[in-house]
């Protein structure tokens, strides 16, 4: 039986009674069709780097996208890949070819599809900078390919939030390997010194209420760095990270998240919203 602890980067969560891992998009579409027709609820799992799950057995079927790895070069600069391709693989491959555009996503764990859903990135830019087309499975079961328009991608949100991303087409610009590598090194250096990468985590837990008031600063100002519940700790390095310092349960993470929200509400009068997906 699959255990979410083996699949979530925070190393938390419970057992999964029904798990599927289709090997092709056609298999995925047919599977979801069958689950829908049977009235069976399901959840999509990719790299598991943005999910906090409770410890109880998952009642929904879990559908992993790990098998969807097809990659195609439409031209030297225009690449299409399926949702399950690791984002890091796309970053490394484009850098090796001396292309630029995806350095902003260096160090973002997980899959291309989830990154396209949430418009992943950071202070150097987001994946929207290279995203040209998306192939989506709508909640009604229809497969559609659409161009990306200005305004489709905003801070950690996209126009296809409720769809399933099947594929993405990315367009790079020419550069040279040394320049691209230097940009990646700069991103790497920054992350290494500002993020608690030595411990399992789910990345930033809360959305930034605004660029001027990032969640990490609000949590820090509320005096919460180092606060611990069981094996879950508000990172002393970056307060918007909760890290698993050993044996944390999903319950520890969830309890600490509630505590952080309550203290920030009391201290700042601000309601922090989850950036991570909570599977409870």
Interaction site with ligand FAD (CB under 6 A): 9, 43-51, 65, 83, 108-111, 113-115, 117-118, 120-122, 164-165, 197, 201-203, 277
Rounded to whole angstroms, how far apart are CA atoms 172 and 190?
A: 23
Q: Which is nearer to ligand FAD, 203 or 250 (CB)?
A: 203
167/255 Cα distance (integer angstroms): 36
Question: The tokens of 188 are what?
Answer: 């790497």
Q: What is the Cα Rg of the chain in Å?
A: 19
Pairing of strands 241-244, 277-279: unpaired
Catalytic entry in 7, 66, 204, 263: 204
Please indicate whether residue 153 is annotated as part of the active site. no
Active site residue 76: no
φ/ψ bin of 160: left (φ > 0), alpha (ψ from -120 to 50), beta (otherwise): alpha
Q: Between residues 56 and 262, which has the closer beta carbon with respect to ligand FAD?
A: 56
176 half-sphere exposure, CB direction, 13 A CA radius: 2
Report strand pairing: 78-82 vs 71-73: antiparallel
Q: What is the dihedral of CA 216, 221, 226, 229, to 10 degrees?
A: -80
Beta-bridge partners for 64 = 45
From the candidates 5, 7, 66, 156, give the one annotated as an active-site residue.
Answer: 156
Active site residue 275: yes
Residue 138 or 223: the one with the smaller Cβ distance to ligand FAD is 138
- Output the smallest distance, CB 269 to ligand FAD, in A: 27
Residue 174: CB minimum distance to ligand FAD, A: 25
Residue 22 phi, psi (nearest 5): -60, 150
Instruction: Point out which residues pair with 19 in neighbouring strands.
Output: 62
Which two tokens mark 278? 């909570």
**Closest to 109 in 3D by CA, of 172, 44, 195, 171:** 195
Token pair listed for 235? 């990172």
Q: CA-to-CA distance for 118 and 108, rounded, in angstroms? A: 12
Give the residue numbers marked as catalytic. Answer: 156, 204, 275
């Amino acid at each position: 039986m699959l255990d979410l602890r083996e699949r979530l980067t925070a190393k938390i969560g419970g057992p999964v009674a029904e798990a599927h891992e289709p090997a092709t998009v056609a298999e995925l579409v047919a599977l979801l069709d069958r689950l829908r027709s049977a009235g069976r609820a399901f959840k999509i799992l990719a790299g598991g780097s943005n999910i906090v799950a409770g410890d109880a057995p998952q009642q929904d079927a879990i559908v992993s996208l790990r098998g969807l790895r097809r990659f195609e070069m439409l031209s030297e600069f225009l690449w299409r890949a399926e949702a399950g391709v690791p984002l890091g693989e796309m970053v490394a491959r484009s850098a090796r070819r001396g292309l630029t555009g995806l350095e902003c996503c260096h160090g973002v764990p997980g899959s291309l599809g989830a990154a396209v859903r949430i418009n992943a990135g950071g202070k150097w830019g987001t994946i929207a900078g290279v995203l040209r087309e998306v192939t989506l499975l709508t909640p009604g079961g229809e497969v559609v390919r659409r161009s990306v328009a200005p305004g489709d991608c905003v801070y950690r949100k996209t126009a296809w939030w409720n769809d399933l991303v099947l594929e993405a087409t990315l367009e790079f610009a020419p550069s040279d390997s040394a320049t691209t590598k230097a940009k990646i090194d700069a991103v790497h250096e920054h992350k290494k010194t500002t993020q608690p990468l030595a411990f399992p985590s789910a990345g930033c837990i809360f959305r930034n209420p605004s660029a001027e008031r990032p969640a990490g600063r609000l949590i820090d100002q509320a005096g919460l760095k180092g606060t611990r519940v069981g094996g879950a700790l508000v990172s002393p390095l970056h307060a918007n990270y909760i890290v698993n310092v050993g044996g944390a349960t999903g319950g520890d993470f969830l309890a600490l998240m509630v505590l952080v929200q309550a203290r920030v509400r009391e201290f700042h009068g601000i309601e922090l919203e989850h950036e991570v997906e909570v599977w409870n």
